[in-house]
Amino acid sequence: MYTDKIEVEGFEHGYERRAEDPRLETHGNATFTHSTGKILSSPRLRLRSICQWMSFTMRRNNDIGQSQGVFWQNARDTRKRNWNLENLQVEDLLGRGSFGEVFQVKAKDDGSEAAIKRIKKNVLNTEKDLSRVKAEFSCWRAMSGHPNVISLFAFVETDTYWCFIMERGNFGSLSQVLRSSDVMLGSQDVRKIAAQLAHAISTLHHAGYLHRDISCSNVLLTENLDCRLIDFGLSVKGTTATSRSGSLAYMAPEVLNRRPAGCAADWWSWGIVVYTMIVGKSPLALFAIREQIDLENISKESRYELAKKTPVVLSTRTSPEERALLVDVLRPDPESRLGMRDGMNFDLLKAHPYFHGVDWTQLDAAKRKILRRIEIRAKRT
């Protein structure tokens, strides 16, 4: 017998489950086990069939009354919507990561749309992985209310899943937009996204967290091309991390070399995001093209070694302000990077010529509210 537990603001809930023989179920042309979710047989199974099965399985669990334990709802959700699992209709699969899947959901009572990230408990079988879920919730909750962070509506624990219910980005990720021929980002769009993302990162750092996976894939865009930072699954509380994590093309030199990394690593990753928006590809992608290397066909360690020796080449087509920004942030010395100077004084970044004319008023007001809320909460504990 084993027990999985997570604490949310003083509430602790654990579910006990006895190990049983896996139950099999046939759906369409595939056979699955409910205990592992693995496909036992799948002749010519299409991705659509897999998505339909996963949505069917989650709805099935809700329909049979899967026990809902810890429930937290964001008090800043002014519409006071009902995000309990029994009120959610699970729809399309939006994505899948190392530890969970993200589905589109719709509230049955009022039609409100959202996304739900569910993490299966038996996948996370170490104390380190369990603490990662707690850190993700803690960080995301702390950042609630920032205009450029995806909104967390609710957190739900069941006997088999941890579920994060969140705002759904309606325009796709920044990486998808950059690959698309339908949308072209102008220089003013790039500057706005860069400013908004930088402000979210600065707020995150001053709240006491590291993101550790800043990338174009983890930035969603709205129809107005406002950005939303997502995915706090690798976030940690504190100022230093020692493990090598994140997206390879965006990793800072100290991360690639397995040295302790802090806020400066997030700023390097932000710099690569800005570089990719301006140039069109990351330095690693450009270097691989130049060297005629297919990144998909080399080993993981070979990709790391390639990333370590990738130069950051600035195109002559960039403006002087763009070049100055990239030079200031993509520095080998972590403490000399823009965003880190003068005790992480964000005013220095705001005053950079590249951001001339940006109105920071609304974002600064949100940052003050977030940090004040954190300060009040800390005094209560």
Of the given ranges (18-22, 110-114, 118-122, 313-317), which has the lowest mean pLDDT? Answer: 18-22
Residue 358: the pLDDT is 97
Residue type at 375 in one-letter notation: E
The band of 333, judged by pLDDT with boundaries at 50, 70 and 90, is: very high
The band of 68, judged by pLDDT with boundaries at 50, 70 and 90, is: low
- Under CATH, which architecture does the 174-376 domain have? Orthogonal Bundle (1.10)
Integer angstrom CA distances of residue 233 from 105, 140, 172, 209, 264 = 20, 9, 19, 12, 19
Instruction: Say if residue 260's pLDDT is above 90.
Output: yes
Question: Is the Cβ–Cβ distance between 266 and 212 less than 8 Å?
Answer: yes
Active site residues: 213
Helices (H), the chain: 47-63, 127-142, 174-179, 187-206, 253-256, 263-279, 283-290, 300-308, 320-329, 341-344, 346-350, 361-380
The domain limits of the chain are 47-166, 174-376
Each residue of 70-104: b (16+ CB within 10 Å) or e? Answer: bbbbbeebeeebebebebbebbebbeeeebbbbbb
The band of 124, judged by pLDDT with boundaries at 50, 70 and 90, is: low
Fold of 47-166: Phosphorylase Kinase; domain 1 (3.30.200)
Residue 359: the pLDDT is 97
Check residues 163 and 381 and name the one with the higher pLDDT. Answer: 163
Residue 69: the pLDDT is 66
Single pTM value for the model: 0.81
The band of 120, judged by pLDDT with boundaries at 50, 70 and 90, is: confident
Residue 77: the pLDDT is 73
Please indicate if the annotation marks 300 as binding a ligand.
Answer: no
The pLDDT of 277-281, averaged and rounded, is 95
